[in-house]
Amino acid sequence: MRQRLPTAALKAREALLILEALPAGTRLIALDEHGALWSSRALAERLAAWRDQGVAELAFAIGGADGLGAAVLDRAEATLSLGPMTWPHLLVRGMLLEQLLVPGEGFEPPTFGLQNRCTATVLTRPVRLV
């Protein structure tokens, strides 16, 4: 029977896998319960600013139940929280996608997609590129 790694070792191993999967030159955004609470408008404005700076790729790292390892948080350009509640990975991915595609009412979304030669990658546990 396989034994579960201690939490610190598991987070370190997951961080290594996430960083290894990160394409070179990609801007990393970590999703973490201790991150900043951005409004939809603030996220859209940040995405637009990155786009306007010529950022071609973004990656969003979603940690496991115990959170992201320090290496990922240290490497991240920004750390974002979707609130204090714990959410399942599939739901977080859907919530994040909703924010990327429809950031809010009353203003134009930044169209941070393939039509602008920009891509967004979601790195999850287990590490999967979507």
Task: Give the domain range for residue 102.
Answer: 7-123
Q: Worst-scoring range by mean pLDDT, 27-31, 35-39, 41-45, 107-111? A: 107-111
Considering the domain boundaries, does residue 28 fall inside one?
Answer: yes
Q: Give per-residue pLDDT as tens, 89-111.
A: 778 888 888 887 764 444 454 44
Considering the domain boundaries, does residue 50 fall inside one?
Answer: yes
CB atoms < 10 A from the CB of 78, how many? 16
Residues 120, 34: Cα–Cα separation, whole Å: 22
Residues 6+ apart with CB under 8 A from 128: 122
Is the per-residue pLDDT at 58 higher than 80? yes
Considering the domain boundaries, does residue 113 fall inside one?
Answer: yes
Residues 64, 95: Cα–Cα separation, whole Å: 16
Considering the domain boundaries, does residue 2 fall inside one?
Answer: no
Q: Can you tell me whether residue 18 is helix, strand or coil?
A: helix
Residues 22, 14: Cα–Cα separation, whole Å: 12
Tallying the residues shown for the chain, one arrives at: 130
Considering the domain boundaries, does residue 31 fall inside one?
Answer: yes
Q: What is the reported pLDDT for 119?
A: 46
Into how many domains does the chain fold? Answer: 1
For the domain that residue 62 is a member of, what is the CATH number? 3.40.1280.10
Considering the domain boundaries, does residue 74 fall inside one?
Answer: yes
